[in-house]
Structure 1
Amino acid sequence: MIISELLTLDSIRVTPAISSKKRLFNTLGEFAHDVYKLDAERVSDALMEREKLGPTGVGHGVALPHARLDEVKRVRGLFLKLERPIDFGSVDRQPVDLIFCLLAASDAGVDHLKALAAVSRTLRDPDLCAKLRANDQPQTLHAVLTDRSITNAA
């Protein structure tokens, strides 16, 4: 799976001020509604429920919140760059400013795992993350994310 299959230009935003993880999940719900016409509250609730299982902050300022929802037909992505990092309970205790959210069908199974692996592998690259942090234009962020995602997930 490649990032360009998950992310469109419309699914990338730079957000100035989010004060908490809960507010972030509400913002992602609204974002999913705007881009994919999903119910904002259901998305937000599903992300919060998944987060209760363990933090999705993977370290180095990156979080990969994800959820499964019946109304999602194929794996979808949302990318947020925060102008001010927030505490996310990440494994390395570093605040988070790069968020790649994945939404998958309840029965997505392997597709969801492949998408998660592709995103994780992509955002593990410190040079790529530096480029993302250095840019605020959604077009540039999209190009950086999708140009680097040529390999298939294992």
Structure 2
Amino acid sequence: MEIRDLLALEAVCRQSRASSKKQLFNDIAAKAAEVYGLDPRSVFEALMDREKLGGTGMGRGVAAPHARLAGVEDIRGVFVKLDKPLDFDAADGLPVDLVFALIAPEDAGADHLRALARVSRALRDGGVCAKLRSCTEQSALHAVLSEKVQTRAA
């Protein structure tokens, strides 16, 4: 499973108005509704509920909020590059400016975990994050995220 299979070009955006996780999740839910036809309220609530279980800030300015949701047929992603970083309760205490949200079917199980692992590996790569932070266009952000990320077995 590759990121390009999870993320439509239209679901990649720069967003500068969110001043809280709640507002960001609302914007992500609206984008998921617009691009993938998902119910925005359900997406928002699922992301908020998951975040209450534990922060999804991965460190180094990256977060990967995710949730499983009834009625979703395929795993879908929304990527947001924030102009103003937000506090995401990351272990390193750094605010987040790169956010990759995943919405998965309620019964996705291992597929959801594989998708989350793929996103996590990509966003732990300092080179990928540097490229994302230097991009200003939607298509360039999508291209960086869609590139095959070389990973080494642990």
The answer to whether the superposition gives a TM-score over 0.5 is yes
Partner SS state of residue 133, structure 1: helix
Q: 1:100-131: CA deviations, max 9, x gaps?
A: 00000000001100000000000000111011
The question of 1:132 aligning with 2:120 is answered: no
Q: 1:27-76: CA deviations, max 9, x gaps?
A: 11111111111111110000000001100000000000000111110111
CA distance in 1, matches of 2:72, 2:136: 29
Determine the structure 1 residue equivalent to 2:19: 19
The question of 1:63 aligning with 2:63 is answered: yes
CA distance in 2, matches of 1:65, 1:58: 10
Q: Post-superposition shift, 1:150?
A: 6.6
Q: Post-superposition shift, 1:15?
A: 0.5
CA distance in 2, matches of 1:86, 1:108: 29
Determine the structure 2 residue equivalent to 1:50: 50
The 5 A counterparts of 1:132-151 are 132-149=132-149
Aligned AA for 1:8? A
Unaligned runs of 5+ in 2: none
Determine the structure 2 residue equivalent to 1:77: 77
Aligned AA for 1:103? I
Contact 1:3-1:149 within 8 A present in 2 as well = no
Contact 1:2-1:149 within 8 A present in 2 as well = no
- When the two chains are superposed, the root-mean-square deviation of aligned CA atoms in Å is 1.5
Q: 1:127-153: CA deviations, max 9, x gaps?
A: 1101100112010001111113476x9
The question of 1:88 aligning with 2:88 is answered: yes
Determine the structure 1 residue equivalent to 2:118: 118
Give TM-score scaled by structure 2 length.
Answer: 0.95
Unaligned runs of 5+ in 1: none
Partner SS state of residue 29, structure 1: helix
CA distance in 2, matches of 1:58, 1:13: 20
Contact 1:55-1:90 within 8 A present in 2 as well = yes
Partner SS state of residue 107, structure 2: coil
Q: Post-superposition shift, 1:10?
A: 0.7
Aligned AA for 1:20? S
CA distance in 1, matches of 2:148, 2:20: 30
Contact 1:32-1:40 within 8 A present in 2 as well = yes
Aligned AA for 1:23? Q
Contact 1:4-1:149 within 8 A present in 2 as well = no
